[in-house]
Homo-oligomer: A and B are copies of this chain.
Amino acid sequence: MIEEEAAAMFQALSNADRLKVIRALVTAGPEGLNAGDIAQMVGATPSRASFHLAALSKAGFVQVERQSRSLRYTVDFSRIGALLSFLMTDCCNDSPQLKYCCT
């Protein structure tokens, strides 16, 4: 992964509302959640939640699928894993000083 892409992904995680969204989706599991429920769970207006979901989607952290009137969002773990790998391997050269955090 190139630095610009990693930077854009970190940018997508640089907001407390968006971190809450990811947490909610992780907890929800493979079923995911629709936009309205997400908005309620993170305490945001529909418009605000939509804005943050779009940011997460653009960075690839969530996927979306229409289900009748709702849009169902799910988390993409592989994308989070890719960013973790970038930080550990590309950025930190797999330093042994980081080892403890993965046991």
Contacts and interface: CB of A to CB of B under 8 A. Distances in A.
A11 B100 CA distance: 24
B3 A7 contact: no
| This chain's copy number in the assembly | 2
Given A81-B101, A84-B88, A98-B81, A13 B15 contact: no
Contact of A80 (B19, B27, B81, B98): B98
A84 B87 contact: yes
A95 B19 CA distance: 16
Majority-rule SS of A interface residues: helix
Contacts of A8: 14
A78 to B, nearest CB: 8
A39 B16 CA distance: 31
